[in-house]
Amino acid sequence: MFEHQVTEDISLRLVGQKDAEELFAVVDGSREHLREWLPWVDSMTEVDQYGPIIHAWLQQFADEDGFQAGIMYKGHLAGFAGFHTVNYTNRQTSIGYWLAHEYQGKGIMTSVVSSLVDYAFEEYDLHRVEIRCAMGNTKSQAVPERLGFKREGVIRDGEFLYDHYHDLIVYGMLEDEWKKCKKS
């Protein structure tokens, strides 16, 4: 099973069907926190609902179209991060992520996203990585900003969240820019 070491305490690993209960518990324990920005949280009310999703994530990895991986922090599932899909023709991808409430403020997500950007440029040989964050989600925005991503624009009403639309900020990083950021 795929596992990618990020730091001594943090790794990314594919989840299997055996992880459905733990995944459900993490989401359920941070439901109020997560639902503020993630449109799928309210629809995931039972452990069994994760089975088809986990299968789809494993198929995505098998198809070499990116991956969705559990963020493991000191051996505990803390959240998820991964590539939505990989566009090999245009050599680009986008990264999505979420973290359970109790794991925030430890630098976990910045380390994870930095590692994913490295992975995109080194393993997939891509040219561009994009991150989209909700306009009001300052914690999510802080990750690409800390890593030197350029704010490229706003997609008005870019995502429907339960009963309303919200704007999305688009951040981008090019391979040569990332190499310069890593050197400084």
- The pLDDT of residue 168 is 98
- The pLDDT of residue 157 is 97
Count: domains in the chain: 1
Nearest 5°: CA angle at 134, between 115 and 184?
Answer: 35
CATH value at residue 128: 3.40.630.30
Q: Is residue 52 a contact partner of residue 43, using CB atoms and an 8 Å limit? A: no
In the 8-state DSSP scheme, what is residue 126? -
- The pLDDT of residue 1 is 58
Domain residue limits at 163: 3-183
| Best CA proximity match to 9, nearest among 74, 69, 71 | 74
- The pLDDT of residue 80 is 97
Show the low-confidence residues of the chain (pLDDT under 50): none
Averaged pLDDT score across all residues of the chain? 95
Q: How would DSSP label each residue in 19-84?
A: GHHHHHHHHHHTHHHHHTT-TTGGG--SGGGHHHHHHHHHHHHHTTS--EEEEEETTEEEEEEEEE
| Per-residue tokens: 4 | 């990618």
- The pLDDT of residue 183 is 76
